[in-house]
Amino acid sequence: MKKAETHKMNNEELEVEVARLRRHLYDLRCQQVTERIEDTTQFGKTKKDVARLLTELRMRRSGAEKEKAQA
């Protein structure tokens, strides 16, 4: 997921996507224990996507708080 894609999403979509990716990480960990994973780089990619989405959410929330403080 690219940064430009996260800018297009609204806050609700970002939260849904974070939940989906966290579930995907859980599934990957379960697969790692029970069976073989062909692409182990999925762990890092998914973690980075989660971090990217959470960063975008925090930036939006801090921006909204600054606007309220100035008003």
More confident: 71 or 11: 11
Q: Is residue 2 over pLDDT 70?
A: yes
Question: What is the spatial distance between Cα 59 and Cα 33, in angstroms, rounded to a whole number?
Answer: 36
Domain carrying residue 22? 3-70
Helical (H) or strand (E) element with 63: helix 42-70
Q: How many CB atoms lie within 10 A of CB 14?
A: 17
Tens digits of per-residue pLDDT, 16-33?
A: 999 999 999 999 999 999
Tens digits of per-residue pLDDT, 11-70?
A: 999 999 999 999 999 999 999 999 888 888 999 999 999 999 999 999 998 887 777 777
Q: Are 25 and 50 in contact (CB under 8 A)?
A: yes
Domains contained in the chain, number: 1
Q: Residue for token digits 């939260």?
A: 15
Q: Is residue 1 over pLDDT 80?
A: no
